[in-house]
Chains A and B, each alone.
Chain A
């Protein structure tokens, strides 16, 4: 290779191959599975991290339900683990609040943000665009390990203040508590963690130990964890965007990409532009806590019977602006990959092209774009000017339009189809159902006048759990059941899948529909106990119903867990393309080889959803199938004229 002069052209495949073949398969266990540079291994690492986190979060939500339903009951096991947080096994209100905080933080960051993007996106984006890896493999590895560091710091936040937390690890823990006392500004409360909620509103999050148990070292670690997570997400987003822009294979034009790729791309852009704002807020908050600044803390606060004079002039509203400027796009970061997976799966099992491919792409971008201008709807009761309130309200309602476009296109895809009701298909349809059910109340809450009375009630709780929580989780389940054969070379059990789906689907509605009613009655969020709220006594049967449904639904997830691990070893062997799907990941072996395409560069001839193509030998045509093979040459001329209509998404390929 010549030295100073850049090659004008170097298209010789073998030369390019030699230059670019910077990774050969690693042989050692550590380089292969732990510090791996392979996007597929990193994707699975992300998925396992999210799987761990989701069960931690799930257990926390069940504990919350137990406390709400039987507030006086003593749970001996809890008393053993959290001696101070649950003395004698009875959960203290602070313990409940810290459950709320940690459940929200873990679920939002380490499940909803991590699994769909870091997990599935990492694994399938490069394969679906025909690349051999991400653009920056080392950076990719670093993003995962940074995310894991964030999780470890977050979990430390649970235990750092509880000097009686773990009687087993007495030694390590007392060291930890001492470290917390010395360097993090406080400790020794003995609860489970910070109690400020996942939104971490100042001033209570900015004041340290004085603001309550868990708000000392625990809250410092909580903020640090979020900041670390921001950095990890930024690195990931950078990688996703660069990969998608630069590494699409021959013929993979933007409008031929699977909708999953579009959703990961949009999500990465949202993450890239919103996480820095949260990072900025986190830095300001840490400075307020530890450097004596007053960004968020107003003067002369009285907290825990003490007058605070060392701060002056700050505004807690500033944090709300920064937080929600991130927080609202974050909702779409959680849900958009689910939308992509759902579109992909609906089309595959409806055996029809996705209805309105371009409309789907533009709707996705419209949702992402509008998502940056609606953060104020989280702050309607913060005393904002009614004019800004109205602007935010109108913009919020506008999001209903692209969301409806997507919903109608999903229904259009299903319309008149001979649907294959596989397990991933059921979860994808479940996604549509939950997205509509949860999204429709967004139109209610988006109106200032209604939100004023519903803010911080169970109505809001039900709304966002359905639309961004459970719907996104259903998207993930759909993705797991759909891609498991590709990732691990074995099918998951269908029977167990159906047994998992139906109780979960019914269960989540049984949990969250009654919460709407509780909210309308006026039940406030985040309260540990309603004993003194007599007007809520009548809701008790509903509270009980929700709790029972939550316990059953949570228990059913063990079936999924069993299915996952059992199928890893005992599942039926999957072929390369068990679902008869069209995209590139199904053109490679299951699981794909180290560099995905065995050193070849795949060529793409058509759009991603060519199902039910007339004159084709099968009812689907893969993206890699050349035209000569897709149809008999004489018939193609006739098919060509009407191809646009027939294939639906305009991916007629006139190259003949």
Chain B
């Protein structure tokens, strides 16, 4: 902290000067404005050690989400392209999908409650809500499998028509990505169950561990949003 204050003063003057010259990149002083002593945006320690505050977990989660978004954007455009062909036919969607939608929304909400409890330091409540989020997530997977079974029972398979192909593909891939989220939740639950929460074994600071929770939560909410989006696509664009 001491270093930051020491340099704040020296930083101001050249910055104003550079701004006047229009040299946004030519900032004086060792610290870029607004960034504190580390280069990263999250104001932790400097540079090579800055990963210890866990900001990279949050950034990594956002970047991962960007990649998954692009995957499903590609499938969406393929879906719309294919839907414009003459042989497009639709299938009655199983009603259990509404249940699964409710389940994953509830799971997302439970995780959010858990995260708030953690922030307030109520560890027992955190564990309970985390567990319920995990159970609801598992129930979502079961509901999705039920939907598949109902379709199979109705004689609708992957190759029945293009719509059913996309249905199995999109739900399947969403489920696959969701399993990653479930694994993340399991990991959080396992770690929350540890007596010392890993701190005694030098696994990073509390801030770092909070960042892991944030990253998993972010991904899980994204899985929730992704399902709602896919459901809307499959339901409305037929």
Contacts and interface: CB of A to CB of B under 8 A. Distances in A.
Interface of A: 1-7, 9-11, 16-20, 22, 129-133, 135-136, 234, 237-238, 241-243, 245-256, 272-277, 279-281, 283-284, 287, 291-295, 299, 310, 312-315, 318, 321-322, 325, 357-358, 595-597, 601-605, 607, 644, 650-655
A134 B123 CA distance: 32
A246 B42 contact: yes
Contact of B40 (A237, A247, A651, A654): A247
Contacts of B152: none
27 contacts: A1-B205, A3-B199, A7-B205, A9-B1, A11-B3, A11-B4, A11-B45, A132-B49, A136-B60, A243-B56, A245-B41, A247-B39, A251-B29, A251-B31, A252-B47, A254-B25, A255-B27, A276-B74, A277-B74, A281-B78, A314-B85, A595-B48, A607-B25, A607-B26, A650-B25, A655-B14, A655-B28
Interface in B20-70: 21, 23-32, 35, 37-42, 45-52, 55-56, 59-60, 63-64, 66-68, 70
Contacts of A256: 25, 32
Majority-rule SS of B interface residues: helix
B30 A312 contact: no
Contact of B25 (A249, A255, A293, A322): A255
A650 B25 CA distance: 7
Interface stretch (B140-148, B157-165, B180-188, B218-226): B157-165
Interface of B: 1-4, 10-11, 13-14, 17-18, 21, 23-32, 35, 37-42, 45-52, 55-56, 59-60, 63-64, 66-68, 70-71, 73-75, 77-78, 81-82, 85-88, 121, 123, 158-159, 162, 165, 169, 173, 196-197, 199, 202, 204-208, 210
Contacts of B47: 129-131, 247-250, 252, 601-602
Contacts of A242: 56, 59-60, 63
Nearest to A326: B74
A281 B13 contact: no
Given A19-B205, A238-B64, A322-B74, A255 B24 contact: yes
B162 A273 contact: no
B158 A292 contact: yes
Contacts of A276: 67-68, 70-71, 73-74
Given A294-B162, A295-B78, A650-B25, 14 more contacts: A6-B206, A129-B39, A135-B59, A242-B60, A253-B39, A281-B78, A291-B165, A299-B87, A313-B86, A315-B81, A318-B81, A601-B48, A644-B21, A650-B23
Contact of A234 (B14, B29, B67): B67
Instruction: Name the prevailing secondary structure of the A interface residues.
Output: loop
A654 B14 CA distance: 5
Contacts of B51: 20, 135, 246-247
